[in-house]
Amino acid sequence: MTPIDPSGTFTLGQHTVKRLGYGAIQLTGPGVLGPPRDPAAALAVLRTAVDCGVNHLDTSDFYGPHITNRLIREALHPYPSDLVIVTKVGVGRGPDGGWHPALSREALTQAVHDNLRNLGLDVLEVVDLRAMIDVHQPLEPAEGSIEEPLSALAELQRQGLIRHIGLSNVTSAQIVQGRRICEVVCVQNYYNVAHRADDTLIDELADEGIAYVPYFPLGGFTPLRSSTLTGVAQRLGATPVQVALAWLLRRAPNVLLIPGTSSVQHLRENIAAAALALPDDAMAELNGMATLVRDLPAGGSRRWPTCLSSRGPAA
């Protein structure tokens, strides 16, 4: 038994994965650009995650760019047979490090081949189409057709370069549209104990057997800080981060977590959340945190972390 086993499992594509995985976005340099300050530490984080039982790894070739995928290959290739690597396409990086939509057929094809090359794979297990419709609110899903870019990915799937397709940063209507084009095995949107616009969507996807993967489950690069989280954590002898992750694990059976860190110590703390049982009174208290966000001005809950300005990461 591994430390992550208490998190439970859920189906992702053809595989059964542990519900507590790992997201590699923090393994690059500052601003998700360039190599990490300590490449050996980054490799150690990846190897420790797998040693602890993680078999769901989230990445993208636009992290770095190219850096995280090359680190993953160096640390873990040849990959364990049960490891599911999920990557994302649909976003590019500018010369200034900014993030921009890259949804043309040519850009998506190039991104898939970049992921294959840098990960050292012949086929990508799961590729998420990351929709970036409104560049001014990149964490806020915006309505708009995804038919053209998703059809391009579906063609690459038919060519045998992709096994399964997911969607990221999408609305319910876009998910419906997407499922008319191809099977959708997962949805990755911004969600955590305080930011809960997708509450209804999560339950709908659970009924359909589709995984929901919250990115920024701990608030991203500006971690969640709350007297409620702190109080519950103190009563349970845990950290606020562990409580936030445990809440997500209990939220719905189809929720798969991908908390990121560049520290082995923090990785082990995150993994310990798999065994943290939240009593009903703690769940009720934590559920009330959502009201704090609902009272914010429109658009106030999903802006980029201020430390990264308007060029924050498209997780």
Q: What is the pLDDT of residues 32-51, one digit of tens each?
A: 999 999 999 999 999 999 99
Asked, for residue 196, whether it belongs to a domain, the answer is yes
What is the per-residue pLDDT across 15-24, written as a single tens digit (0 to 9) for each? 999 999 999 9
Number of domains in the chain: 1
Helices (H) and strands (E) in the chain, counts: 11, 11
Q: Are 195 and 301 in contact (CB under 8 A)?
A: yes
DSSP for residue 33: B
Alpha carbons 119 and 123: distance in angstroms, whole number: 10
What is the per-residue pLDDT across 104-127, written as a single tens digit (0 to 9) for each? 999 999 999 999 999 999 999 999
Token pair of 99 as six digits: 């993030």
Is 63 labeled as catalytic in the residue annotation?
A: yes
Asked, for residue 269, whether it belongs to a domain, the answer is no
Domain extent, residue 212, equals 8-224+254-262
Asked, for residue 281, whether it belongs to a domain, the answer is no
Q: What is the pLDDT of residue 307?
A: 28
Q: Residue 64 sits in a domain of what CATH number?
A: 3.20.20.100
Q: In which residue ranges of the chain is pLDDT below 50? A: 292-314
The pTM assigned to this predicted structure is 0.92
Q: Coil, strand, or helix at residue 282?
A: helix
Asked, for residue 291, whether it belongs to a domain, the answer is no
Q: What is the pLDDT of residue 111?
A: 98
CA distances from 307 to 89, 220, 268, 312 (A): 24, 11, 25, 8
Q: What is the pLDDT of residue 303?
A: 38
Q: Which of 22, 63, 79, 212 is catalytic?
A: 63
Asked, for residue 1, whether it belongs to a domain, the answer is no
Asked, for residue 62, whether it belongs to a domain, the answer is yes
Asked, for residue 150, whether it belongs to a domain, the answer is yes
Q: Are 278 and 238 in contact (CB under 8 A)?
A: no
Asked, for residue 315, whether it belongs to a domain, the answer is no
